[in-house]
Amino acid sequence: MIPIGSPAQLGKPSAPQRGDFRPRGRGRAAKNALATATFGAAVVVLAVPLALVLWSVIGRGAHVALERFPAFFTQEIPIVSRRAGPGMGPAILGTLLVTGGATLISVPLGILGAVYLNEYGGASRFARLVRFMAMVMTGVPSIVMGLFVYMVWTIRFGFSALGGALALACLMLPVVIGSTEQMLKLVPDTLREAAYALGATKSRVILTVVLRAALPGTVSGSLLAVARAAGETAPLLFAVGASSSYNADFLQGANTALPMQIFGNATSVFVGAQDRAWGAALTLVLLAFLVTLAARLFTARFATPESN
């Protein structure tokens, strides 16, 4: 009986079947290469339009934005739109007022709401309902918000920066709630326990330990919501009105904002107005970029270090 595995049974050691290690089957390598190339092409297809847009914005916008600097940022908007030349000051102020106001309204409200969801509500029916509705609210088209604010606010109180701020706040609120709740969830329970064991009340624990630990992520999430809100046009269309002169009054009077100016001037036949639209677009894009960058830097610098 020849034991299994002895050379006599296995015969000669088998020779390698092929001289190299290329993939078997024709075309498999080719298919793989094609796929990889397609993916790379997709990246190019994504990058090219982005580059084109930025090229136009910077190219056409810089011209009027830098003309007689800082005229673009401080002068009023030419009432006669045929006139060429800079002037978007009121729109910049308007954007700051409206976005700032929206932030002041929605961020504290959103943080408190998220605190309820994560620290008090948990899985209760009410909390589940609120969470669900907040998610639904993130999907509401901005034009619906605009119409809503018109029918509820503008009809009664007229155009104002406040109306625009309210409209944007409606858009921002569910986003702030969602991102803040995620941050609160990341705070480990052991920190809460430590604070309770020292005799702190629940509100104390939340305010001094939990929110503090979740702060970087919360700020970053809120900044991203701000960047998005700054670029929204539809909610403002029916709330803010149209003004070409400065209006620092937050509560009263028509105002304007960068997105609205872009929208209005985009359809103008006059090159001067179009140029101002590009300039406003440049300003808006820079603003959005800066805020987003701030958000990223915040996360990077102040992220809670891992404990041993």
7-66 positions binding another protein, by CB under 8 A:
23-24, 28-29, 31-32, 34-36, 38-43, 45-47, 49-50, 52-54, 56-57
Binding flag, residue 232, another protein (CB under 8 A):
yes
Binding flag, residue 248, another protein (CB under 8 A):
no
> In the bound complex, what is the minimum distance in angstroms from residue 246's beta carbon to another protein?
22
Residue tagged 């603003």 (tokens): 287
Nearest CA to 115 out of 196, 207, 195, 188 is that of 207
Binding flag, residue 109, another protein (CB under 8 A):
yes
Rounded to 5°, angle at Cα 99 from 96 and 104: 115
Contact in structure between 106 and 218 (CB atoms under 8 Å): no
Rounded to whole angstroms, the maximal C-alpha distance in the chain is 108
Binding flag, residue 157, another protein (CB under 8 A):
no
Q: Which of 66, 71, 288, 294 binds another protein (CB under 8 A)?
A: 288
Q: What is the DSSP letter of 121?
A: I
- Binding segment toward another protein, per CB under 8 A, in 3-11, 64-72, 81-89, 132-140: 132-140
Query: Which residues between 165 and 224 bind another protein (CB under 8 A)?
Result: 170, 173-174, 177, 188, 190-191, 193-204, 206-209, 212-213
- Binding segment toward another protein, per CB under 8 A, in 73-81, 82-90, 105-113, 245-253: 105-113
The single-letter code of the amino acid at 179 is: S
Binding flag, residue 101, another protein (CB under 8 A):
no
Binding flag, residue 104, another protein (CB under 8 A):
no
Nearest CA to 173 out of 132, 210, 124, 135 is that of 135
Q: Which of 87, 90, 101, 121 binds another protein (CB under 8 A)?
A: 121
What is the C-alpha separation between 67 and 116, in angstroms, rounded?
51
What is the C-alpha separation between 218 and 234, in angstroms, rounded?
26
What is the C-alpha separation between 86 and 173, in angstroms, rounded?
35
Query: Which residues between 62 and 91 bind another protein (CB under 8 A)?
Result: none
Q: Which of 62, 71, 96, 127 binds another protein (CB under 8 A)?
A: 127
Binding flag, residue 299, another protein (CB under 8 A):
no
Binding flag, residue 134, another protein (CB under 8 A):
yes
Q: Which of 158, 289, 297, 300 binds another protein (CB under 8 A)?
A: 289
User: How many chain residues are in contact with another protein, going by CB under 8 A?
Assistant: 109
Structure tokens given for 241: 């009105």
Ordered DSSP codes for 125-191: HHHHHHHHHHHHHHTS-HHHHHHHHIIIIIHHH-S-HHHHHHHHHHHHHHHHHHHHHHHHHHS-HHH
> In the bound complex, what is the minimum distance in angstroms from residue 138's beta carbon to another protein?
8
- Binding segment toward another protein, per CB under 8 A, in 63-71, 83-91, 96-104, 139-147: 139-147
Binding flag, residue 231, another protein (CB under 8 A):
yes
Task: Output 4 or 305, the one with its CB closest to another protein.
Answer: 305
Binding flag, residue 142, another protein (CB under 8 A):
yes
Binding flag, residue 140, another protein (CB under 8 A):
yes
Q: How far is CA 278 from CA 51, 60, 86, 205, 284, in A?
A: 15, 6, 11, 49, 10
> In the bound complex, what is the minimum distance in angstroms from residue 6's beta carbon to another protein?
30
Nearest CA to 187 out of 33, 303, 36 is that of 303
